[in-house]
Amino acid sequence: MFSLFDFFPIDGAASGAQAREGDVTDFRAIRIDKSDHGHHAGYVVMQERDLMDGDVDVDVAFSAINYKDGLAVSGKGPVVRRFPMIPGVDFAGRVTRSAHPEFAPGDIVVATACGLGEAHYGGFAQKARLSGDWLSKLPPPLRMARAMAVGTAGLTAMFCVMALERHGARPAEGLAAVTGAAGGVGSFAVALLAKAGWRVAAVTGRAAEADYLKRLGATEIIDREEFAGSGRPLQTQRFAVGVDAVGGVTLANLLGQTRFDGAVAACGNVGGMELQMNLAPFILRGVALLGVESVRPRIGLRRAAWARIAQDLEPAAIDAMTEIIPFDEALDRARAVVTGGIRGRVVVDMGLNLPEKDGD
């Protein structure tokens, strides 16, 4: 396993705690510690002065569980870059202090990736302090719980769809495949592609989720076993485009089944980091492999993606793929994600009962 931060530094990420006068408010968090006795994740009570540096303080209303959080709390992948660490790559909340020109107390904000839960304290805490460059204001009508349902997974799916569109792919060209379809990224990719007018084939290992995937907009369901063998590089051309959250042999087979001039946006590696294939799909069919990463803080792209998500995704569609759990259950559920035990998105209610907007 790898961490995306193996490949680039975290601009603006802070390294130490920044105590301020009056920083004594207690809050609950999940903390990962590593010592000679091993790796341990558990619930703790912390104080604001324990937080890392940053020009914005946020009361965290909701977080969400991502695959990377599962790796972090279970110690199964080298996700965490410093210890102790508060995991949680996403959160939404309300600004309580800001020295950043774009944010003021009371703003409702969302943070995804940018090293949260890896190199900088993340969202599994009732308070966060971070760089305002990593925050986006929530575009209406998105609210905090739904923004967290979207989170890194939805944003990544949106980036994948936007990458396919930048490539020039259009729904009239044929069928779109989504692998890892019942997972977080996959669920959003199905919904977003369907909303954009694509016929969507959901590739899943969970036949029981067929109705769920069809409700999101899938027009057909494909058993992921069909993508499990080391198939020929040039197979029957089935798909015009693909969004791949799995990697490994799944991605190799998807590329082998992609039509002339088609494209696949690849973002995940739950099925493996290796890609063993030859160049045939690229040089004999003109297939494009579009890499997608959502970690780096590209402010313009993020804002465009959030605006498109707010416009394209009906609240009911987001709710259909969302389960909300209390903070007390977050640690166990995060451990479960690495065994594929989560459908869609699991949002964590941090228990602060913050108003969703002024006047609530």
Burial 293-332 (b: 16+ CB within 10 A, else e): ebbbbeeeebeebbebbbeebeeebbeebbeeeebeebbe
Min separation Cβ 189 and ligand NDP, Å: 9
Kindly state the tokens that stand for 166.
Answer: 């930048």
Return the residues of window 266-325 that contact ligand NDP according to CB under 6 A: 267-271, 292-295
Listed residue (237, 219, 246) closest to 284, CA to CA: 237
Does 221 help bind ligand NDP (rule: CB under 6 A)? no
Which member of 3, 63, 74, 156 binds ligand NDP (CB under 6 A)? 156
Which residue's CB is nearer to ligand NDP, number 55 or number 209?
209
Please report whether residue 94 would count as binding ligand NDP according to CB under 6 A. Answer: no
CB of 26 to ligand NDP, least distance (A): 31
Cβ atoms of residues 267 and 244 within 8 Å? yes
The stretch near ligand NDP (CB under 6 A) out of 34-42, 55-63, 163-171, 184-192 is 184-192
Stretch that binds ligand NDP, among 99-107, 134-142, 162-170, 264-272 (CB under 6 A): 264-272
Q: Which helix (H) or strand (E) is 236 found in, with range?
A: none
Q: Which is nearer to ligand NDP, 95 or 331 (CB)?
A: 331
Q: Tokens 């002024």 — which residue?
A: 358
Chain-centroid distance, C-alpha 32: 20
Contact with ligand NDP (CB under 6 A) among 54, 183, 242, 297: 183
For residue 356, the minimal CB distance to ligand NDP (Å) is 24
At its nearest, how many Å lie between ligand NDP and the CB of residue 45?
29
- 226-261 as b/e: b if 16+ CB within 10 A: ebeeebebeeebbbbbbbbbbbbbbbbbbbbbbbee
Side chain identity at 311, as an amino acid letter? Q
21 contact partners, CB below 8 Å, separation of at least 6: none
Among 163, 175, 181, 241, binds ligand NDP (CB under 6 A): 181
Q: Is 180 in the site for ligand NDP (CB under 6 A)?
A: yes
According to CB under 6 A, which one of 31, 224, 259, 333 is a site residue for ligand NDP? 224
Q: Which is nearer to ligand NDP, 128 or 221 (CB)?
A: 221
**Angle value at C-alpha 12, between 6 and 16, nearest 5 degrees:** 90
Angle at 18 between CA 33 and CA 118, to 5 degrees: 40
Near ligand NDP by CB under 6 A, which window of 99-107, 231-239, 251-259, 261-269?
Answer: 261-269
Query: Does 74 help bind ligand NDP (rule: CB under 6 A)?
Result: no
Q: Which tokens hold the place of 351?
A: 């228990």
The yes or no reply on residue 205 touching ligand NDP (CB under 6 A) is yes
**Minimum CB distance to ligand NDP smaller for 95 or for 194:** 194
Are residues 209 and 190 in contact, defined by beta-carbon separation less than 8 angstroms?
Answer: no
* Distant-in-sequence, close-in-space partners of 238: CB < 8 Å, separation ≥ 6: 175, 177, 201, 257, 258, 259
Locate 76 and state its tokens: 């199964």
Q: Given the complex with ligand NDP, which of 73 and 182 has the nearer CB atom?
A: 182
Q: Name the minimum Å distance from CB 256 to ligand NDP.
A: 16
Among 64, 114, 119, 153, binds ligand NDP (CB under 6 A): 153
| CB 331 to ligand NDP: min, Å | 16
* Residue 114 CB neighbour total at 10 angstroms: 27
Return the number of the residue (295 or 331) whose C-beta is nearest ligand NDP.
295
Tokens 């739950």 belong to: 270
Residue 340 makes contact with ligand NDP by CB under 6 A: yes
Q: Which is nearer to ligand NDP, 300 or 359 (CB)?
A: 300
Binding positions for ligand NDP, rule: CB under 6 A: 66-68, 152-153, 156, 180-186, 204-206, 224, 245-246, 250, 267-271, 292-295, 337, 340, 342
